[in-house]
């Protein structure tokens, strides 16, 4: 009896996934201290958020901090543009989508990914900080993923900065009201302090620079796994009840 085709397709797909990790590790390992900047791909160049992301990208590059984005338009383009114009390292980690995503022209180092999870590892492993401008589901995914990693101590704590009080404060209030203050509580009191909301780009740049200066080299940190997260404890399995 012949085995179904999908039994082989998933096995061979492992090599495609492996190739993305190999290329990503080889390329990203050379960029030095970096920050990942997220935000909406739909923001036009005339928008204030675009101008602010461009300014932050430029200020970080002037401090010799590489800027990593998802490589697309909008906020991603703005941050890459600012870093590029300042002569810094501007990285775009592009994702292959059913609707083609144009890689912005300001990303000087470009990697293309088929798999969101492989791309996410690059953001986490090679960034000393995350910055989230207003965005959609993708931006919220990056934000909440960072919260989960830090909360569970699977990642050493790193600054997560949310730019835009008007956009982020309602979400922070919802988190406090429906997660922290709920009965039963879904998060701890300290969990609402894992991120910073600000409109001050200088404050954001200062926090990021401090993180880059204080964060140890991941290559010599014995507590970290190869993908940049913290080594965990083995899972304890619940004892099964014996049937009589």
Helices (H) and strands (E) in the chain, counts: 7, 7
Residue 7 has pLDDT above 70, yes or no: no
Proportion of the chain above pLDDT 90, given as a percent: 78
The reported pLDDT for the residue numbered 241 is 58
What residues contact residue 37 under an 8 Å CB cut-off, 6+ apart?
A: 53, 56, 57, 67, 68, 69, 75, 76, 79, 131, 132, 133
| pLDDT tens string 123-170 | 999 999 999 999 999 999 999 999 999 999 999 999 999 999 999 999
- Report the C-alpha gap between 99 and 56 in whole angstroms: 29
The reported pLDDT for the residue numbered 12 is 83
The reported pLDDT for the residue numbered 138 is 95
Q: Which of 120-129, 152-161, 176-185, 215-224 has the lowest mean pLDDT?
A: 215-224
The reported pLDDT for the residue numbered 216 is 56
Residue 196 bridge partners (DSSP):
161
- Report the C-alpha gap between 23 and 13 in whole angstroms: 16
At 227, the pLDDT band (50, 70, 90 cuts) reads low
The reported pLDDT for the residue numbered 136 is 97
* Mean predicted confidence (pLDDT) in 48-75: 98
The reported pLDDT for the residue numbered 220 is 41
Rg of the chain on CA atoms, in Å: 20
| pLDDT tens string 59-68 | 999 999 999 9
Of the chain, the end-to-end C-alpha distance in Å amounts to: 40
- Report the C-alpha gap between 7 and 96 in whole angstroms: 24
List own/partner pairs for 221-228 with CB under 8 A and 24 or more apart. Answer: 221/156, 223/156, 224/156, 227/121, 227/124, 227/125, 228/121, 228/124, 228/125, 228/126, 228/155
The reported pLDDT for the residue numbered 125 is 95
pTM: 0.88
The reported pLDDT for the residue numbered 219 is 43
Average pLDDT of the chain, as a whole number = 90
What residues contact residue 212 under an 8 Å CB cut-off, 6+ apart?
A: 33, 35, 65, 128, 129
Residue 107 has pLDDT above 90, yes or no: yes
Enumerate domains of the chain plus CATH numbers. 10-164+198-213 (3.40.50.450)
What residues contact residue 32 under an 8 Å CB cut-off, 6+ apart?
A: 64, 66, 89
| pLDDT tens string 183-201 | 999 999 999 999 999 999 9
User: What is the maximum span of the chain, computed from C-alpha positions, in angstroms?
Assistant: 73
- Report the C-alpha gap between 22 and 60 in whole angstroms: 27
Three-class HEC string of 50-68: HHHHHHHHHHHHHCCCEEE
- Report the C-alpha gap between 35 and 130 in whole angstroms: 6
* Torsion on CA atoms 25, 30, 33, 34, rounded to nearest 10: -60
């Amino acid at each position: 009896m012949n085995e179904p085709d999908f039994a082989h397709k998933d096995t061979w797909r492992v090599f495609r996934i492996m190739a993305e990790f190999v290329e990503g590790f080889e390329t990203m390992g050379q960029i030095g201290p970096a920050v990942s900047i997220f935000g909406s791909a739909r923001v036009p160049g005339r928008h204030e958020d675009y101008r602010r992301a461009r300014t932050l990208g430029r200020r970080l590059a002037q401090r010799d901090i590489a800027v990593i984005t998802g490589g697309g338009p909008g906020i991603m383009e703005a941050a890459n543009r600012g870093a590029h114009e300042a002569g810094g390292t501007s990285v775009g980690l592009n994702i292959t989508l059913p609707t083609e995503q144009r890689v912005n022209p300001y990303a000087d180092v470009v990697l293309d990914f088929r798999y969101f999870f492989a791309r996410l590892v690059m953001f986490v492993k090679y960034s000393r900080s995350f910055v989230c401008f207003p965005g959609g589901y993708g931006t919220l995914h990056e934000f909440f993923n960072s919260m989960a990693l830090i909360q569970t101590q699977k990642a050493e704590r790193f600054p997560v900065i949310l730019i835009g009080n008007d956009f982020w404060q309602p979400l922070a209030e919802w988190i406090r009201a429906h997660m922290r203050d709920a009965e039963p509580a879904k998060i701890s009191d300290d969990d609402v302090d894992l991120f910073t909301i600000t409109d001050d780009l200088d404050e954001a740049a200062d926090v990021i620079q401090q993180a880059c200066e204080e964060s140890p080299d991941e290559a010599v940190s014995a507590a970290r796994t190869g993908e940049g997260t913290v080594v965990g404890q083995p899972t304890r399995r619940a004892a099964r009840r014996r049937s009589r």
